[in-house]
Amino acid sequence: MELGPHSRPAEPGRCVSGSPSAGSAFPASRVSAAGAEPGSRPTAVAAVLPAGGCGERMGVRTPKQFCRVLERPLISYTLQALERVCWIKDIVVAVTGENMEAMRNIIQRYGHKRISLAEAGATRHRSIFSGLKALAEDQPDCKLTKPEVVIIHDAVRPFVEEDVLLRVVMAAKEHGAAGAIRPLVSTVISPAADGCLDHALDRAKHRASEMPQAFLFDVIYEAYQQCSDYDLEFGTECLQLALKYCHTKAKLVEGPPELWKVTYKQDLYAAESLIKEKISQEICVVVKTKDEESVGHLLKEVLKNELNCATITSTALDHSGGDIQNFLTDQCCSFIWVTVLSSDFQETRKFLTALEESSLPLLYPVVVVLVHCLDFTLVPPAQKMESLMWIRGLAKEVKKRNVLLSGLLINYSQDEQKLQESLQQGASIIAALVKERSPALAGQLLVA
Ligand SMILES: Nc1ccn([C@@H]2O[C@H](COP(=O)(O)OP(=O)(O)OP(=O)(O)O)[C@@H](O)[C@H]2O)c(=O)n1
Ligand SMILES: O=C(CO)[C@H](O)[C@H](O)COP(=O)(O)O
C-alpha cells in the first residue's frame, strides 16, 4: 500500500491514535511504539464487523446493533471505537439487505469514515465470510485492498479499546490467529440426554472466547473457503475454523471485562451506564475573571471528590470570548460555565451555538451548567431567577440538538462557611447533572 505524505500510518504501534475527530470522543489511549519494531514493514490491517443478526435473545423488534443507547445506535459506538484506531485502514460491516439503507444513514449521520458495506448472511459465520470476500482480491469488483491482518469484531461489542486490538493484531502477525479471552463467570457443565448433569468442566482450566479476534488474512479466508456448510450454519468460533482448516493455533490474549457482547436487554442498560460513566470523567470549567477563577478552582476541588477521579480542566475565556472553539476540540461533554455577580447572555449564546455546530452533541448528550454566583443576602434567589428565565427558553432550544442546559445559583456569601456549604451543595448538583444526563432536568434553575 502506498502512503502519501498525509496518509495515516498503517502500522500498528507506529501512530498515536485518537487525534480528535468526529469519531473520537473518549480520551484516546496512547499506543506506545512497542508494538512495532523500528524499521519493520508496515502491517496493512482491516476489520470485518458482522452486524447481520436479528438479536433474538434481546427480545425487541429492532436488531440490537441498531438499538439506541443515549439516542445513538449501538453500532455507531462500535464503529467509533474502531475508527479512532488510525492504523485500521478499512472497516467492512456486514448488514442484511433489509438494513442496508438504515446502515448507510447511520454512517452519514454520525460521520463514520473508512466504512464499506457487505451483505450479511443467514448466520454469523456467513456474514463474516461475506465481509472477508469484500477484502479478498480474488473477488470480482473488489474495491478494497487485501490486508495482511484482518480483525473480526462483533458489531455489538462497543467498548473495544486500541490496546487490545493492537495486542491481537500483533499476536496474529506472529501466530496466524489470535483472540481475546476472559475468565469464565459461571462454571460450564455438560448435561446428559436425560436432562441430568453428565459432568462439569474445571472452570479454572477454561476461558470464555470473546472478540476482537485477528488473523492473517490468508489464513482465515482459506479456512472460510474450506469449511463445511455445517460449520457455516452452526459454528460459533472463528479461531476453531483457523485451527481445523489451516492448522493454525490461535494465541489467546487476556482482554478487559468491557469486551462483553450485548446480548440481553439488561446489557443495553449496562452499556448506557458505562458510556455515561466514561463521558462523565472529563469536565471543563469555563471562567473569565479572577473571581470566577477562584470559584472555579473551589468547585473543581469539590467536584473531584464527587466524581471520583474525574479530569477537571479550567479554561479561562479571553475577554473577546475568542477561544470558545479551542475547548470544543477536546471532545469533553460536560461544561460548567461560572459567572460571579454578572451574567453575559450573549457570550453564553455564542458558546452554545459553537457547541451545537460541533459534532459533539451528535455523538453524546452534552451537559452545560451555567453557574451564577450571587450573594443571597443582597440579591434573593427568587429575584435572580426571574432575570435568568432566559435560560429556560435557551435550554428548550438547544435540547433539540442534544445539549442539556441548566442553571445553578450559588450563594456567593462573604461568610466563608456559607460559601463552602453552597459550593459543596452545588458540586453535588453538578455531579448529578453530569452523571445522569437527564433531558428532564434541562432548563431547570437550581439553587445550592
Ligand atoms: N446472521 C448473522 C447473525 C449474527 N451476526 C452478528 O454477529 C454478532 C454476534 O452475534 P449474536 O450476538 O449472536 O447476534 P444475534 O444473532 O443478532 O443475536 P441472537 O443470537 O440473540 O439472535 C452480532 O453483531 C450480530 O449482528 C451477523 O452478522 N449475521
Ligand atoms: O464469542 C464469540 C467468539 O467466539 C462470538 O461472538 C460468538 O461465538 C458469537 O456467537 P453467537 O452468535 O452464537 O452468540
Which is the closest atom of ligand 2 to the Cα of 124? 12
pLDDT at 396: 93
| 286-303 pLDDT, tens digit each | 888 888 888 888 898 888
pLDDT at 309: 64
Q: How far apart are CA 312 and CA 285, in angstroms?
A: 7
Per-residue CA distances from 175 to 46, 49, 170, 253, 371 (Å): 17, 22, 9, 12, 56
User: Ligand 2 within 6 A of 397 CB?
Assistant: no
The fold for domain 33-274 equals Spore Coat Polysaccharide Biosynthesis Protein SpsA; Chain A (3.90.550)
Residue 10's pLDDT band, with cuts at 50, 70 and 90, is very low
pLDDT at 139: 80
Residue 27's pLDDT band, with cuts at 50, 70 and 90, is very low
pLDDT at 178 over 80: yes
pLDDT at 328: 67
CATH classification code of 283-447: 3.40.50.360
Q: Using the mean position of ligand 2's atoms as its centre, give its distance from the Cα of residue 104 in Å.
A: 25
CB contact at 8 A, 284 and 335: yes
Residue 24's pLDDT band, with cuts at 50, 70 and 90, is very low
Which of 6-20, 204-218, 322-336 is the most confident on average? 204-218
The mean pLDDT value of the chain amounts to 88
The three three-digit cell numbers of residue 117, written as one number: 458495506
The three three-digit cell numbers of residue 94, written as one number: 456486514
β-pairing, 207-216 with 177-183? Answer: antiparallel
pLDDT at 34: 35
Residue 170's pLDDT band, with cuts at 50, 70 and 90, is very high
| 92-140 pLDDT, tens digit each | 999 999 999 999 999 999 999 999 999 999 999 999 999 999 999 888 8
Residue from 126, 149, 145 nearest 135 by CA: 145
pLDDT at 17: 53
Q: Ligand nearest 118 Cα, by number?
A: 1
Mean pLDDT in residue range 400-428: 94
Q: How far apart are CA 162 and CA 145, in angstroms?
A: 22
| 318-374 pLDDT, tens digit each | 655 455 566 666 678 999 999 887 777 888 888 899 898 888 999 999 999 999 999
Residue 1's pLDDT band, with cuts at 50, 70 and 90, is very low
Half-sphere CA count of 439, side-chain side, radius 13 A: 13
CB contact at 8 A, 292 and 338: yes
User: Ligand 1 within 6 A of 359 CB?
Assistant: no
Q: Classify residue 446 as exposed, middle or buried by CB count within 10 Å of its CB (0-12, 13-18, 19+).
A: buried
Q: Using the mean position of ligand 2's atoms as its centre, give its distance from the Cα of residue 35 in Å.
A: 27
Which is the closest atom of ligand 2 to the Cα of 210? 1
pLDDT at 383: 81
Residue from 432, 158, 186 nearest 268 by CA: 158
For the CA atoms of 423, 426, 432, 438, the dihedral, rounded to the nearest 10 degrees, stands at -150
Residue from 353, 357, 433, 369 nearest 405 by CA: 369
Residue 22's pLDDT band, with cuts at 50, 70 and 90, is very low
The pLDDT > 90 percentage for the chain reads 69
Q: What is the ipTM of this complex?
A: 0.94
Q: Using the mean position of ligand 2's atoms as its centre, give its distance from the Cα of residue 237 in Å.
A: 6
| 237-268 pLDDT, tens digit each | 999 999 999 999 999 999 999 999 999 999 99
**How far, rounded to the nearest angstrom, does the alpha carbon of residue 338 sit from its chain's CA centroid?**
28
| 221-245 pLDDT, tens digit each | 999 999 999 999 999 999 999 999 9
pTM to 2 decimal places: 0.89
Q: Using the mean position of ligand 1's atoms as its centre, give its distance from the Cα of residue 179 in Å.
A: 18
User: Ligand 1 within 6 A of 156 CB?
Assistant: yes
Domain with CATH 3.90.550.10 in the chain: 33-274
Mean pLDDT in residue range 167-179: 98
pLDDT at 28 over 60: no
Q: How far apart are CA 286 and CA 321, in angstroms?
A: 11
Cis peptide before 42 (omega within 30 of 0): no
Domain with CATH 3.40.50.360 in the chain: 283-447
